[in-house]
């Protein structure tokens, strides 16, 4: 590869990456642009400069590796590789975990004891997308692998004293929850191919 073709992350340690597909039913294996969501997520991690590791790798081996950890949700399959790389760079620069987020566009109501209450201000809410990058120094101190649900993993990290910074993910990084969402994401990203 010509040096001019290298990305800014090519000279840095690559980091380890896990594609999260557990606890998501069969949706990670739905097709977008002719590939499974999980395959697209793995491709994005690889293109970002991260080394994929198998989910069956023992957590102790990951924690002792001295590498940053990038957790990528298979349900955010079209997250651009350069966004993943920028999250990794930010986590390395700050020493803090970083998560990609999207603005909340739905109306969100408070429910208390079965009664619908006030509407929450959407501007104060964020939807967790992907990736979640955990810097090596934080990884080394974790006793177990972060939760497969990235929102839960963010909450667990914060509760353990590791504030998580957010970066606004591009629209292509949106999380899908249904086959209809996959179809819409496919339409959104069809011009990228």
Q: Residue 44 is encoded by which pair of tokens?
A: 């994005």
- Are 138 and 94 a contacting pair, CB within 8 Å? no
Model confidence, pTM: 0.84
Q: How far is CA 32 from the centre of its chain?
A: 18
Tell me: pLDDT of 161 over 80: yes
pLDDT tens digit sequence for 140-155: 999 999 999 999 999 9
Q: How many CB atoms lie within 10 A of CB 20?
A: 25
Q: How many CB atoms lie within 10 A of CB 84?
A: 30
Q: In residues, how long is the chain? A: 193
pLDDT tens digit sequence for 10-31: 555 689 999 999 999 999 999 9
DSSP state, residue 35:
E
Q: Residue 3 is encoded by which pair of tokens?
A: 């040096």
> How far apart (Å, rounded) are the C-alpha atoms in residues 127 and 104?
6
> Domains of the chain, with CATH numbers?
3-101+127-189 (3.90.550.10)
């Amino acid at each position: 590869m010509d040096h001019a073709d290298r990305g800014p992350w090519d000279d840095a340690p690559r980091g380890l990456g896990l594609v999260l597909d557990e606890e998501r039913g069969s949706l990670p294996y739905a097709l977008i642009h002719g590939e499974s969501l999980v395959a697209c997520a793995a491709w994005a991690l690889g293109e970002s400069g991260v080394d994929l590791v198998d989910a069956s790798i023992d957590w102790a081996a990951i924690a002792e590796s001295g590498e940053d950890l990038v957790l990528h949700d298979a349900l955010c399959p079209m997250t651009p590789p350069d966004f993943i790389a920028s999250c990794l760079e930010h986590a390395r620069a700050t020493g803090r975990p970083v998560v990609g987020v999207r603005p909340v566009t739905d109306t969100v109501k408070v429910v208390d004891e079965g009664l619908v209450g006030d509407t929450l201000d959407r501007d104060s809410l964020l939807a967790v997308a992907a990736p979640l990058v955990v810097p090596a120094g934080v990884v080394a101190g974790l006793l177990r692998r972060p939760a497969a649900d990235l929102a839960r993993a963010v909450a667990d990290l914060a509760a353990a004293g590791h504030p998580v910074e957010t970066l606004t993910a591009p629209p292509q990084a949106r999380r899908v929850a249904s086959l209809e969402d996959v179809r819409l994401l496919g339409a959104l990203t069809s011009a990228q191919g």
